[in-house]
Amino acid sequence: MAGAGGEQAFLSTEIVNRGVESSGPDAGSPTFVVRVRRRLPDFLQSVNLKYVKLGYHYLISHGIYLVTIPVLLVVFSAEIGSLSRQELWRKIWQEASYDLATVLAFFAVLVFTVSVYFMSRPRPIYLIDFACFLPSDELKVSKDEFIELARQSGKFDEDSLAFQRRILRSSGIGDETYVPRCIAGAGNHATMKEGRAEASAVIFGALDELFAQTRIRPKDVGVLVVNCSLFNPTPSLSAMIVNHYKMRGNILSYNLGGMGCSAGIISVDLAADMLQANPNNYAVVVSTEAISFTWYGGRRRDMLIPNCFFRMGCSALLLSNRRRDFRRAKYRLEHIVRTHKGGDDRSFRCVHQEEDEQRIKGLAISRDLMEIGGHALKTNITTLGPLVLPFSEQLLFFATLVYRQLFSGAGDGGTAPAGPYIPNYRLAFEHLCVHAASKAVLDELEKNLGLKEGDMEASRSTLHRFGNTSSSSIWYELAYLEAKGRVGRGDRVWQLAFGSGFKCNSAVWRATRRVKKPATGPWADCVDRYPAAAAAQAQRG
């Protein structure tokens, strides 16, 4: 019974009015359907102490000098604090005896110590600029047009079309998203030719804009990281970019495949590591997905869901480890925290590429996705908390957590005391960019993290305008914040993404200057319509 109670905690019910039955024995009678859905667990109420300790380990290992330097200052101050200025001067110049060897040894030790300190410090990673691809209007489809394209393909029966129509109605996606026209073809649309054409269009479009904005030559790029989960041709997409732009022969190029919607942050992490090992360099990170290879033409409902959400998109960003780029950079990378739950079989299979009974390939979405995603999120944000939360929030959170650990059985009847203090993550960040997976996921995250509606504005607006663009969605969201003119100097941005594996990743950026509204970009012609357009869609849903 306890197991059944735990299972029910992750379920939510909804009664849906299906209208009046038009035919059959129940014609003329109203019909209702009870939908049972899994939801995110209330992960802030069940915090695991080991992940808090992991976060503090990161904090201490990267900030040990914050502890040692004050101690040295205290010792030094105690030593000289009792001496007057005249006594200190006499000890240094009159009572002490110096020779050349002593002076040289002192300066040698000083130079060595300073050199080791600066060499051991990680190089700052700057985000100079980024670009998001805006497809042409001829690829724009409304929800009704999307269903019509699916009908024209001849791959779906009426039940499958009706299911996709219901998913779209409550998805949070608007009527201006983009899909490749090849999905309407009656034959096998997922060919290498179609995949290369789609990838070339979005990748080169984003990179052309990035190089124009930053005025960087492609030959100046020393590191290239590309991620695309389902389309991985030979030669790779990274090789395709090197060939197209005639990049230099010693470029460090990497092509990441099969890593899901969180691969954008993984790519940034890899590029940052490469920049740490290769000074005075630039890195380009490209994040995209080939929609024609996510399109499923069968009838399994768990594999039809990706059809409804994934849309065309691509982001390209330029990173630098040159300290002189501080003045022209937009952001500085502060933290990346990655969580991987692939060791658990349920987590590993919750988003799985496979064939159905008719051997049609597609992406299967498990009903456990919300629950599994919630546990991955819990781990990630618990690890991130000590790195970003103000000290006052950390103190209250840690004190209540320890209290629960020590007195968990002290309550009446052996029950645990009240839940832990829930940190206010809004105090740690000015802006939040959550992967725009679906309206249901964003709703649950807003509730579980105690966020306000405005905190999710960028995510909801991106979902409505562009759909789920996979690993590039968090960059469309940051582009939205810039288009609104909301990013000021010193503002902190939290990017949160999750995807197959199951993985949940966080990146924290700090704005190095006030970011001006861009004259171009994916939001240039529509940002004034938001957030009203997304809010209206949510009300209709």
Q: DSSP characters for 202-233?
A: HHHHHHHHHHHHHT--GGG--EEEEE-SS---
**Cα separation, 427 vs 22, whole angstroms:** 54
Annotated active-site residue in 380, 435, 504, 505: 435
Q: What number is the average pLDDT over the span 169-195?
A: 82
3-state secondary structure 175-192: CCEECCHHHHCCCCCCCH
Annotated active-site residue in 375, 431, 448, 504: 431
Q: Give yes or no: 431 in active site.
A: yes
Contact 240, 199 (CB under 8 A): yes
Facing residues of 33 across strands? 16
**Cα separation, 450 vs 438, whole angstroms:** 18
Annotated active-site residue in 232, 244, 340, 424: 340
pLDDT for the residue 163: 93
Annotated active-site residue in 132, 228, 261, 504: 261
pLDDT for the residue 447: 83
For residue 165, give the amino acid letter: R
> Using 50, 70 and 90 to split pLDDT, how confident is the model at 236?
very high
- pLDDT tens per residue, range 430-472: 999 999 988 988 988 888 777 888 899 999 999 999 999 999 9
pLDDT at 397 over 90: no
Contact 284, 492 (CB under 8 A): no
Q: What does the block give as tokens for 437?
A: 């997976």
% the chain with pLDDT above 90? 49
Classify 269 as helix, strand or coil. Answer: helix
pLDDT for the residue 74: 60
Give CA separation, 191 vs 187, 348, 364, in Å.
10, 27, 20
Annotated active-site residue in 321, 448, 464, 505: 464
Lowest mean pLDDT among 53-57, 304-308, 515-519: 53-57
Give CA separation, 456 vs 443, 453, 477, 481, in Å.
9, 6, 10, 11
Give the alpha-carbon dihedral of 244, 246, 250, 252, to 10 degrees: -30
pLDDT at 27 over 60: no
Contact 247, 221 (CB under 8 A): yes
Annotated active-site residue in 281, 321, 468, 505: 468
* Region at 304 (left for phi over 0; alpha for psi -120 to 50; beta for the rest): alpha
Classify 40 as helix, strand or coil. Answer: coil
Q: Give yes or no: 244 in active site.
A: no
Nearest to 335 by CA among 73, 58, 65: 58
Nearest to 375 by CA among 409, 405, 341, 335: 341
Q: Give yes or no: 464 in active site.
A: yes
Lowest mean pLDDT among 170-174, 260-264, 389-393, 537-541: 537-541
**Cα separation, 539 vs 175, whole angstroms:** 15
Tokens 């389309």 found at: 231
Nearest to 340 by CA among 193, 186, 506: 506
**Cα separation, 522 vs 186, whole angstroms:** 31
Q: Give yes or no: 314 in active site.
A: no
**Cα separation, 394 vs 422, whole angstroms:** 10
pLDDT for the residue 295: 87
- pLDDT tens per residue, range 463-487: 999 999 999 999 999 999 999 999 9
pLDDT for the residue 53: 52
> Using 50, 70 and 90 to split pLDDT, how confident is the model at 425?
confident
Q: What number is the average pLDDT over the span 359-380?
A: 87
Q: What does the block give as tokens for 533?
A: 């357009």
Nearest to 225 by CA among 207, 252, 198: 252
Neighbours of 120 (CB within 10 A): 8
Backbone angles phi, psi at 145, to 5 degrees: -65, -35
Q: What does the block give as tokens for 102?
A: 């002593």
Give CA separation, 243 vs 158, 176, 249, 251, 371, in Å.
45, 33, 10, 12, 43
**Cα separation, 386 vs 505, whole angstroms:** 16
**Cα separation, 501 vs 293, whole angstroms:** 19
Facing residues of 16 across strands? 33
The length of the chain is: 541
DSSP structure string for 117-185: HHHHSPPP-EEEEEEE----GGGEE-HHHHHHHHHHTT---HHHHHHHHHHHHTS---S-EE--GGGG-
- pLDDT tens per residue, range 291-339: 888 888 889 999 999 999 999 999 999 999 998 999 999 999 999 999 9
pLDDT for the residue 532: 77
Q: What number is the average pLDDT over the span 12-28?
A: 51
**Cα separation, 17 vs 37, whole angstroms:** 16
Q: What does the block give as tokens for 459?
A: 């995510």
pLDDT for the residue 3: 42
501-528 as b/e: b if 16+ CB within 10 A: bbbbbbbbbbbbeebeebeebbbeeebe
Tokens 């006594």 found at: 87
> Using 50, 70 and 90 to split pLDDT, how confident is the model at 91?
low
Backbone angles phi, psi at 272, to 5 degrees: -65, -40
pLDDT for the residue 10: 43
Nearest to 317 by CA among 122, 163, 470, 475: 475
Burial of 380 (0-12, 13-18, 19+ CB in 10 A): buried
Q: Give yes or no: 468 in active site.
A: yes
Backbone angles phi, psi at 477, to 5 degrees: -70, -40
Backbone angles phi, psi at 30, to 5 degrees: -70, 140
pLDDT for the residue 13: 42
Q: What number is the average pLDDT over the span 369-392?
A: 84
- pLDDT tens per residue, range 343-355: 999 999 999 999 9
